Chain A
Amino acid sequence: MLTDPPESTDITQRRLLQSIVEVARSVFGAAAASVFLVDRANGDLVFEAVAGEGENQLPGTRFPGGTGIAGWAVMGGQPLLVDDVAESPRFARAAAESTGYVPRSIMAAPLIADGECIGVLEVLDRDSRPRGDLGDMDSLGLLATEMATVLELLVRLRHDTGAARAVEVARFDLPLLQRVAERLPTASEQVGATVTKLLTMADELLAGGGA
């Protein structure tokens, strides 16, 4: 079966992001785990995948860059953890209005690919199992590193596949097909029938997987 490579890598990327936020949520016993990607056009942070609280409504939602704990992770380029955020009424209200959920704690790590911060992996409200805060941040950092590395590979794959398709297309004389299509309506009946027959044969050949 032939597939469209760019679309295929997009689907793979979505599945990858979703699986990693689900792993993150499970590892930390968290209320939610999410990944934001940085919109290069304006620096916004966009929810790309969410597991747990908000998973149905948050993907696609965007926030201005530099705001919130995810913004800190982008700006500082380092993992961090914030506790008792819900004690701040202003934060709680803003969070509730934008995500529908007010966390007590937020842990975030940057996704760094090719020296650029391309997004943030964030975990809300880890469970109370006895683990060290520093250990949790290290684990999140490792997950973020893994995620960024695979994203980097996907981007490269997409680029390589796109380039390969361009080379592939260039092997064929597409302008020839264009000229045939333009001239066919003005051809004589006999020539038109012959050309149509040839094109039909070509079509059947391609449909038969004769590539």
Chain B
Amino acid sequence: MPASVVPHERFEVSPLGPVVTREWAWGGADGSGIRVCVLDSGVDTSHPLVGGLEASMDVVTGDDGEAAVVPVEPGDEAGHGTACASVIRAIAPAASLTSVRVLSSGSHGTGAALLTGLRWAIDEGFDVINMSLSTTKPEFRDALRELSDAAYFRRCVIVASAHNMPVRSYPWPFASVISVASHDGPDPMAYYYNPSPPVEFYARGVRVRVAWTGGREMLTTGNSFATPHIAGICALILSKHRSLTPFQLKSVLYLTAENVAGSAATENGGARVD
């Protein structure tokens, strides 16, 4: 074995299976001990469907022109981040949520703020990062790819919304993130593996009841709302199997997907891994 592939240090890896079922994957889990970061427009913590956060952060530009991530009073003028946070909370009620505001009014993911916020979230060691957004600006592609790879190797799972328009956008097509589009079923725990990437999974994304600004709720449809379903399910799985790598986590999602687990020759909807 060449020296370059020998691990430099010992590390914990949760074993899979031997039969990976949905019960094995997240049965009884509530997201306890898992830290989820929502990169979005902010989160309104006063909404009953969301509740308290671990932290609310904003990306600001200092006097020196450098962007920095600083604590702010919780809030969300647009409501998009609040909607996403409410989905994660519904799936993984005990997971710790942190908001980083990278979208500001009138701007389409300014790119620079997105990079700064994502870099901060990876450095902070969040277990799961929800990105119900993408940037279409090609100048940010390479930096986003590097950050996505860095997150992958640091056991930080990025769950990103796929784009359903014929435009190039990032980071969802990168292999190191989990990309999510929508199915139109009503089950929040149902998801499907897509054997024709770059979209890897389909989760509930049609008529999803979400929190909105001013304590309101509404029914929304779009990949933005499918993504936090998978982020929440990742939090559940990680809370039960703490040392899964992103590679293993993706494998668990694959093995427990409706169209994979359902077709496997197991009694309780799972797939053997031995």
A interface residues (Cβ-Cβ under 8 A, vs B): 38, 42-45, 64-67, 71-72, 74-85, 87-88, 90-91, 109-110, 112, 115-117, 132-134, 137-138, 141-142, 144-145
Partner of B222, one of A65, A81, A132, A144: A81
Contact in complex: A80, B161 (CB < 8 Å): no
Residue B272 CB within 8 A of the other chain: no
Contact in complex: A85, B108 (CB < 8 Å): no
Q: Complex Cα distance A116/B111, Å?
A: 11
Please name the residue on chain B nearest to A66 by beta carbon: B105
Residues of A near B106 (CB, < 8 A) are 38, 42-45, 64-66, 71, 74
Residues of B near A43 (CB, < 8 A) are 105-107
Contact in complex: B222, A78 (CB < 8 Å): yes
Partner of A117, one of B80, B136, B218, B225: B136
Residues of B near A72 (CB, < 8 A) are 78-80, 224
Q: Complex Cα distance A103/B133, Å?
A: 26
Q: Smallest distance from the beta carbon of B11 to chain A beta carbons, Å?
A: 36
Please tell me the size bucket of the interface on B: 35 or more
Known: A74-B108, A75-B78, A133-B184. A80 touches B164 (CB 8 A): no
B interface residues (Cβ-Cβ under 8 A, vs A): 41, 77-80, 103-109, 132-138, 161, 163-169, 182, 184, 205-207, 212, 214, 216, 218-225
Partner of B41, one of A75, A78, A109, A134: A75
Contact in complex: A137, B218 (CB < 8 Å): no
23 sampled A-B residue pairs with Cβ under 8 A: A38-B106, A64-B105, A65-B106, A66-B103, A71-B106, A75-B133, A76-B109, A76-B134, A76-B224, A77-B136, A78-B133, A78-B165, A80-B220, A81-B222, A83-B218, A83-B219, A83-B220, A83-B221, A90-B214, A115-B137, A117-B136, A134-B206, A141-B165
Q: Complex Cα distance A25/B11, Å?
A: 58
Q: Complex Cα distance A87/B224, Å?
A: 22
Known: A77-B108, A83-B207, A83-B219. A134 touches B184 (CB 8 A): yes
Contact in complex: B136, A65 (CB < 8 Å): no
Partner of A137, one of B105, B137, B214, B221: B221
Q: Complex Cα distance A61/B137, Å?
A: 28
Partner of B219, one of A82, A141, A144: A82
Q: Complex Cα distance A144/B205, Å?
A: 20
Q: Complex Cα distance A84/B220, Å?
A: 9
Q: Smallest distance from the beta carbon of B188 to chain A beta carbons, Å?
A: 16
Contact in complex: B133, A79 (CB < 8 Å): no
Contact in complex: B216, A65 (CB < 8 Å): no
Contact in complex: A76, B184 (CB < 8 Å): no
Contact in complex: B221, A80 (CB < 8 Å): yes
Contact in complex: B223, A78 (CB < 8 Å): yes
Contact in complex: B137, A132 (CB < 8 Å): no
Query: Quick one: which of B138, B166, B182 has the most chain A CB within 10 A?
Result: B166
Residues of B near A75 (CB, < 8 A) are 41, 78, 80, 103-105, 107-109, 133
